[in-house]
Amino acid sequence: MHVAVSGSGGLIGRAAVAALRAGGDDVTLLQRRSSASPSGLRTVVWPDAAHDPDAARRLAGVDAVLHLAGSPIAAGRWTAAVKREIRLSRVDATKALIEVLGAAGARPRAFVCASAVGYYGDRGDEELDERSAPGDDFLAQVCRAWEEAAQGAEGLGARVVRLRTGVVLAREGGMLARLLPFFRAGLGGPVGSGRQWLPWIDLEDEVGAILALLRDPDAQGPFNLAAPEPVRSRSFAQALGRTLGRPAFLTLPGAAVRAVFGEMGAAVLLGGQRALPQRLLATGYRFRRSAIEDALRHALGRD
């Protein structure tokens, strides 16, 4: 296939592009502005397609779009400006991309768009599958609006897949990469009560699931991209400590998290979702790693 990919500079995007190329697919990178790209890959500055015939031609020729772009949500406190950028980079950018694709005459068969398990909000011990109702906090509102924006690609004739992704485990980036220095120094441990659920997924499974859904002509709608065995924050910290051979008993109090990170800390660090990948499993997808210690050993090169 000829696949156009946005967000190719992120953890998931880099791995997805590499997997697509390894599988013989033709990849075009979708960028908001001109920048350096990996050798051998075409790029399209998609906002310029309206007055750039070459960009319009490249967009018109895509078979599928993998839309992963969005500004970081856990980089610090959510000021009004940060919250605005989080929403603009997801909801407004998705609407704009679909409009540009339509103007270029693109008719992709699939439009696979990122979302997150934050769609459900903090739901305690409730088991959440794709039929579960959305939450009502800031992240849930953004995810809901983001998914609604993605549905606009149906107007191009595309089937739309919404990827409700959990915490992706990889030493190259994301949450695990941020935690490693503390755990290696023996300063790791659970956050808050440690009882909040952590919906995690191995990076290879994240990409494997994305590619499977990209190619499956019957796949559409929301899919929880999380391993079948979510764990509590305390269990995750203990498993990471065992994997590194380091103690992991220092607790970061919830009050300190709220004081330092505000609303972001309460939602991202102290909240959680017991999300289950029911629809993904129903497609026949088989997880490479469904146990947290297996995933951590693999991510850290200790398997």
Q: What angle do CA 69, 70, 76 make, to 5 degrees?
A: 150
Residues 205-260 pLDDT 10s: 999 999 999 999 999 999 999 999 999 999 999 999 999 999 998 898 889 888 88
Q: 214-228: string of b/e by CB count within 10 Å (b at 16+)?
A: beeeebbebbbbbbe
Residue 79 one-letter amino acid: T
Rounded (to 5) percent helix, strand, coil in the chain: 45, 20, 35
Residues 195-216 pLDDT 10s: 999 999 999 999 999 999 999 9
Tell me the pLDDT of the chain averaged across its residues. 93
Residue 91, pLDDT score: 97
Residue 197 one-letter amino acid: W
Residues 55-95 pLDDT 10s: 888 899 899 999 999 999 988 899 999 999 999 999 999 99
Residue 52, pLDDT score: 84
Beginning with the edge strand found earlier in the chain, give each strand of the sheet holding 2-6 in spatial order: 42-45, 26-31, 2-6, 64-67, 110-116, 159-165, 221-225
Tokens at 127, concatenated? 């088991």
Residue 49, pLDDT score: 79
Residues 6-40 pLDDT 10s: 999 999 999 999 999 999 999 999 998 776 666 66
Range of lowest pLDDT (36-45, 107-116, 150-159, 283-292): 36-45
Sorting pLDDT into bands at 50, 70 and 90, what band is 148?
very high
Q: Are strands 197-198 and 231-232 parallel, antiparallel or unpaired?
A: antiparallel
Mean pLDDT over 256-281 rounds to: 91
What is the residue whose two structure tokens read 């102290």? 270
Residue 42, pLDDT score: 85
Q: How many CA within 13 A on the CB side of residue 32?
A: 14
Which residue ranges make up each domain of the chain? 2-299
Q: How many CA within 13 A on the CB side of residue 148?
A: 11
Residue 99, pLDDT score: 94
Residue 229, pLDDT score: 95
Comparing C-alpha atoms, which of 281, 171, 177 is closest to residue 227?
281
Residue 198 one-letter amino acid: L
Domain at 2-299, CATH homologous superfamily? NAD(P)-binding Rossmann-like Domain (3.40.50.720)
Percent of the chain with pLDDT over 70: 98
Phi and psi (nearest 5°) for 163? -95, 100
Residue 134 confidence (pLDDT) above 90: yes
Sorting pLDDT into bands at 50, 70 and 90, what band is 41?
confident
Residue 137 confidence (pLDDT) above 90: yes
Residue 23, pLDDT score: 95
Cα–Cα distance for residue pair 19/25, rounded to 1 Å: 9
Tokens at 81, concatenated? 């400006």
Percent of the chain with pLDDT over 90: 81
Note whether 162 and 220 are within 8 A (CB): no
**DSSP for 162-220?**
EEEE-EEEBTTBHHHHHHHHHHHTT----BTTS-SEE-EEEHHHHHHHHHHHHH-TT--
Bigger pLDDT: 235 vs 46:
235
Q: How many CA within 13 A on the CB side of residue 90?
A: 25
The set of residues, in sequence order, having a beta carbon less than 8 Å from that of 236 and lying 6+ positions away, is: 190, 198, 200, 292
Residue 30 one-letter amino acid: L
Taking residue 157's Cβ as centre, other Cβ atoms within 10 Å add up to: 11
> What is the C-alpha radius of gyration for the chain, rounded to an integer number of angstroms?
19
Note whether 273 and 122 are within 8 A (CB): yes
Residue 38, pLDDT score: 63
